[in-house]
Each structure stands twice: as C-alpha cells, then as structure tokens.
A = this chain, B = another copy of it.
C-alpha cells in the first residue's frame, strides 16, 4: 500500500467523478480532499499534489464550495485558508446531479402545452412527464432513508 498506489487510486476516482458530471479540475481536487491523510487541506497543498496552477485550484475550490461538497474552516490563526470534505458530500452530489430531473419535468410540461391531445407527441411527452414526476416524488424519501441509516457523526 504505497503512496504511489494511493494517489493512483485518487486519480482513478477523479476520472469517475468527471464521468458523473463534475468538471475535470474540481473532480481532481475533490479526489485530493478524499485521499489526503490530513484532516484539512489548503489550496497550496492541492496545487502541489496535482501539479497545477494556483488559479486552477482557486476555480476548482470555488466550484466545490458552491455545490456544497467542501467547507471552509474557521481559520485557526493561519494565513492560509483550510478546507475539508463535508460529511454530507455524497448525498449533496447525488442531489445536484438530480437537479436535471426538475428541468426535464418542466420541459415536458412545456411540450405538452404545445401539442394537441391525439398528437403522438402529446402521448410521448405525457409518459415522459409521468416518469420524472414519479422520480421527483421518490428521491426525497430515498435520501431520508440514507440519513436515517447513517446519521452524520
């Protein structure tokens, strides 16, 4: 279990995160937050680890903050800002990815309004709407069950 192996696994995870919709640099940064042996991380450490510019890290951290995957810690008297992965990061990420569900539902409604009943398109769009309506109804319960089974520490 070498350090090399550890960071290979980290980069591999970054690729999976990128598949899942995150942009490349935020994904790689998130992997650092996961795999670091420290409790918190600074921007400088991320830049060193990934071998990328400070500007890239700034943008990536900003993106991760905005979706609630990481949090800035009350500064412990240091000049550098410290960040860490949030406990609820995974359910947050899952929810963010399902924001699309709401958009799809709305798009379906618009389409239904723009077609006459009897038009094949009207039926297709109705079926689509029903599916996303169903999903939107199920997802909150899903996340609630998760939190019940695994309460934050």
Show the binding face of A for B, using Cβ within 8 Å: 1, 5-6, 8-10, 12-13, 16-17, 19-21, 34-39, 85, 87, 90-91, 94, 97, 100, 103-104, 106-108, 110-111, 113-116, 119-121, 124-125, 127-128, 130-132, 134-135, 138, 142, 145-146, 149-150
Contact = CB atoms under 8 A, between A and B. Distances in A.
Contacts of A115: 1, 6, 35
A125 B34 contact: yes
Q: What is the total number of copies of this protein in its complex?
A: 2
A135 B94 contact: yes
A147 to B, nearest CB: 10
B16 A114 contact: no
Contact of A120 (B37, B130, B131): B37
